Amino acid sequence: MTETQFTPRVFSGIQPSGNLHLGNYLGALKRFVDMQQPDMETIYCMVDLHAITVWQDPKELAHSTRELCAGFIAAGLDPEKSILFNQSQVPEHAQLAWIFNCVARMGWMQRMTQWKDKAGKNQQNASLGLFAYPSLMAADILTYHATHVPVGDDQKQHLELTRDIAIKFNHDYGVDFFPITEPVIEGAATRVMSLRDGSKKMSKSDPSDMSRINMTDDADTIAKKIRKAKTDPEALPSELDGLDERPEARNLVNIYAALSDQTAEQVLAEVGGKQFGEFKPMLAELAVSKLAPISSEMARLMGEEAEIDQILAKGAEKARSIAAPILQQTYEIVGMVGAKQG
């Protein structure tokens, strides 16, 4: 099977559950913006159907969806250049997910580390949706025949499963219909760690707000969180291997590199030998200069709710024009009567 027969098309999504944080920004959103190029079709989705796999207060879900859309636009996504929409407005995602639920195997889902982490010890009480989560994710991607999916490191396993679903579907039905998608996990900050514990991923579910920088934080809060970030007593090294066994130091260097569009090596060449007392204010200044304009633009856009809703509705219409024919062809392949037989 060749991957080149499909036109390059980028798809990715973010859950509108709670605050957008620096990990989402550096691992995903900033890279969505980088991929918004004239020769590339880019489709970015607020995955509200994924969000409800764990309980969401309805009012908060609606607020978070609009806020995420504001974040997308404030970070540089242009609704004229990229298709921006929320998942539930394009029913083809859920329809294709059902087909994929019948392709994916129980064992594949059981192996997912995100399922194991999120369901914890009480799997019997987790929602069926949480278990089937990766199948909906595969549908998100494949209903556009997307070829490239920019994500942070934690989504790698889900993207491998997406490939497995595409391969099994193509094999079972004897077709070459779904592309074998490429994960795009690149840049200096594919895994941003907690500011309080360098062994834990920065995440919206961490009970400590000091562990993460939220995209809605103001300049003072950002600076305070960086000042208080956990570090070690050593000076920064000049070479990358000097960061071995120093997860907190590595994390701050990676954040600095991603925010300034450099590699960690380039950053160390500049700051090697400095103490954290000197490096942290540099990082705080950089973070504030990059993030504060985004958070103030998000706040402004949140005052334009009707405009956001219109952007999402328009985006959904464009998305459906791509997704509907692909779902239709999938139904034909599967043998659903009523689907136009070719």
Known catalytic residues are 118, 201, 204
Per-residue x/- mask for ligand TYM, residues 95 to 134, rule CB under 6 A? ----------------------------------------
Residue from 34, 154, 160, 197 touching ligand TYM (CB under 6 A): that is 154
Per-residue x/- mask for ligand TYM, residues 47 to 66, rule CB under 6 A? x--x----------------
Asked whether position 332 contacts ligand TYM by CB under 6 A, the answer is no
Find out whether 247 and 301 touch, Cβ atoms under 8 Å: no
Please calculate the CA angle 23-198-29 and round it to the nearest 5 degrees. Answer: 10
Beta-carbon neighbour count of residue 187 at 10 Å? 19
Residue from 9, 10, 23, 148 touching ligand TYM (CB under 6 A): that is 23
Residue from 24, 53, 86, 211 touching ligand TYM (CB under 6 A): that is 24
Instruction: Specify the stretch interacting with ligand TYM by CB under 6 A; choose among 76-84, 154-162, 227-235, 294-302.
Output: 154-162
Residue from 1, 2, 4, 15 touching ligand TYM (CB under 6 A): that is 15
Asked whether position 182 contacts ligand TYM by CB under 6 A, the answer is no
In the complex with ligand TYM, the residue whose CB is nearer, 21 or 280, is 21
Beta-carbon neighbour count of residue 42 at 10 Å? 22
Asked whether position 135 contacts ligand TYM by CB under 6 A, the answer is no
Q: Which residue is nearest to ligand TYM (CB)?
A: 27
Asked whether position 314 contacts ligand TYM by CB under 6 A, the answer is no
Asked whether position 187 contacts ligand TYM by CB under 6 A, the answer is no
**Is the backbone of residue 22 left (phi > 0), alpha (psi -120 to 50) or beta?**
alpha
Per-residue x/- mask for ligand TYM, residues 203 to 242, rule CB under 6 A? x---------------------------------------
Asked whether position 82 contacts ligand TYM by CB under 6 A, the answer is no
User: How many Å apart are CA 10 and CA 39, to the nearest integer?
Assistant: 11
In the complex with ligand TYM, the residue whose CB is nearer, 45 or 333, is 45
Minimum CB separation from ligand TYM for residue 328, in Å? 21
Beta-carbon neighbour count of residue 246 at 10 Å? 17
Q: Which two structure tokens, joined as six digits, stand for 224?
A: 């305070």
Beta-carbon neighbour count of residue 96 at 10 Å? 24
Minimum CB separation from ligand TYM for residue 238, in Å? 25
Asked whether position 137 contacts ligand TYM by CB under 6 A, the answer is yes
Residue from 81, 118, 168, 191 touching ligand TYM (CB under 6 A): that is 191
- Amino acid of residue 288: V
Task: Enumerate binding residues for ligand TYM (CB under 6 A).
Answer: 11-15, 23-24, 27-28, 47, 50, 137, 140-141, 149, 151-152, 154-155, 158, 190-192, 201-203
